A = this chain, B = another copy of it.
Amino acid sequence: MPSLRALAFHCALAPASLFLAQTSFMRILLSLMLLLSAAVTAQTSDSLTIRSIYTTALTQGDCYQWLHHLCKNIGPRLSGSQGAADAVEYTRYIMDTLALDSVWLQPVMVPHWVRGEPEKGRIISEKPGLSQQLTLCALGGSIATGDGITAGVVEVRSFEDLNAMKDKDVKGKIVFFNVPMNQAHIRTFPAYGETARYRVRGADHASKKGAVGMVLRSLSTTLDDYPHTGVMIYTDTVPRIPGAALSTLAAERLSEALQRDPRLKLHIRMTCETLPDVLSYNVIGEIRGSENADEIIVVGGHLDAWDNGEGAHDDGAGCVQAIQTLQTFRRMGYQPKRTVRAVMYMNEENGTRGGKEYARVADSLGEQHIFGIESDAGGFTPHGFGINDSALVSKLKANWGDLLYQFGLHELSVGGGGVDINPMREHGCITAGLHPDSQRYFDYHHAPSDTFDKVNHRELKLGAAAMATLAYLISEYGVQ
């Protein structure tokens, strides 16, 4: 273990330095050595503390059990739902058991969109064998279809494809964006970044050309029959039309069927609606700093999750990891110098009201948030952090890069944050995102398959330990 080697080096150094302090040269040498010695002491202390964070997190951490409750006893928890309210109460209850300095709820009004009855999708064709059910789901925020829409289908691969078409060929049809995520990327987030626009803006683009509905191939890295929902946004410059996601298998089938019968019809039926806003809460717990209590570090995740799954990786994982950061500090007896706050944000998925309200309140109270870390990329093996401040990245690399590498944290990159913590940036807060392995995330993201069984207990706890480690370093050394 590097910590033990560093310790041995420090112990060997001290007696030698006394003997050498005879000449001015020796005094300079001594100063240098004492400096080195102090640095070694700090590093040794950090090494031992971080080792303790990991041991505590891996052997005494409860995040996996908490996630089990959040997924299996509460389950779906979209903003405004009973599940969201239950999740608020549950995470407050958990933090109440951890002997923190404060635990409180921060009110925030959130949107309340509901899916309604299970959606229906069906290909209708006069060609034998082509008529079939298709698995699809409404996109979050979509309007309903009334009794259903039955229309011809225009398949496109991009907005450019769509815009190149004549309006008359699109008018009255359902536009089908069949854009697979690009598997050639080494990490999956860039592929998501390339295709998410079709989910978010596809309905409006289709409407502009006169379409009556929009379906898209789910943003997924795998081929299965789970449709992946997610937010869509109407700009209201064009008529609103319903938007839905087909499972990747259903998208393949629809595309094949269109090859054989370009005149087929697609029937979709969705009864979703947007209800009045609802009072909900961000859930907050903190350990007050012993020296610089006014400097606040946030570790966070978002408590809301789409209504079609259990929100295990997105983002139950981030919530329980944030809470476990505080549990770990308490269990190992570490008292942070700066204040460390775990925040479960509400409404990341379809409004980001919680993150905005948290930043607004912090600003109105004159709170000084120096650093925020969000875990919202799944409970997979952590690889490191993206941090939105190049000087801090350089400092972390120079002082603790080798040490962090020993714990599997090999990535310290510039740029990063999280949807919920980003609003704090304009008040001077440096933001960071936990970067876990990304390979499986979009297999489950926003889908019914985002369930507890997809989470590995060690990977989840390692993520919690990584967050605690970064919170510890910032708490000890600040961000300058």
Contact of A408 among B54, B187, B406, B456 (CB under 8 A): B187
Cross-chain contact A437 with B381 (CB below 8 angstroms): yes
Chain A contact surface mostly: loop
Q: How many copies does the complex hold?
A: 2
Asked if A253 is an interface residue, CB under 8 A from chain B, the answer is no
Contact of A462 among B186, B410, B459 (CB under 8 A): B186
Task: Indicate with 1 or 0, residue by residue over A205-228, a CB within 8 angstroms of chain B CB atoms.
Answer: 000000000000000011000000
Cross-chain contact B410 with A410 (CB below 8 angstroms): yes
* Count of residues in A whose CB is under 8 Å from the partner chain: 26
Cross-chain contact B459 with A439 (CB below 8 angstroms): yes
Asked if A183 is an interface residue, CB under 8 A from chain B, the answer is yes
Cross-chain contact A54 with B183 (CB below 8 angstroms): no
Which B residue's beta carbon lies closest to that of A51?
A: B184
Asked if A58 is an interface residue, CB under 8 A from chain B, the answer is yes
Q: How far, in angstroms, from A458 to B200 measured CA to CA in the complex?
A: 26
Cross-chain contact A457 with B222 (CB below 8 angstroms): yes
Residues on the B chain within 8 Å of A457, using CB: 222
Cross-chain contact A184 with B59 (CB below 8 angstroms): yes
In the complex, how many angstroms separate the beta carbon of A64 from the nearest chain B beta carbon? 10
Q: How far, in angstroms, from A458 to B191 measured CA to CA in the complex?
A: 13
Which B residue's beta carbon lies closest to that of A410?
A: B410
Asked if A55 is an interface residue, CB under 8 A from chain B, the answer is yes
Asked if A69 is an interface residue, CB under 8 A from chain B, the answer is no
Cross-chain contact A406 with B186 (CB below 8 angstroms): yes
Q: How far, in angstroms, from A24 to B439 measured CA to CA in the complex?
A: 54
In the complex, how many angstroms separate the beta carbon of A421 from the nearest chain B beta carbon? 26
Interface centre among A187, A381, A406, A459, by most B CB within 10 Å? Answer: A381
Asked if A195 is an interface residue, CB under 8 A from chain B, the answer is no
In the complex, how many angstroms separate the beta carbon of A152 from the nearest chain B beta carbon? 31
Cross-chain contact A407 with B186 (CB below 8 angstroms): yes
Cross-chain contact A183 with B458 (CB below 8 angstroms): yes
Question: Which residues of A pack against B, CB within 8 Å?
Answer: 54-55, 58-59, 183-184, 186-188, 221-222, 381, 406-408, 410-411, 437, 439-440, 443, 456-459, 462
- A221-B458, A440-B459 given; 6 more Cβ-contact pairs under 8 Å: A55-B184, A59-B184, A186-B406, A187-B408, A410-B411, A439-B458
Q: Which 4 A-B residue pairings sit nearest by Cβ, starting from the closest?
A: A410-B410, A55-B184, A439-B458, A58-B183
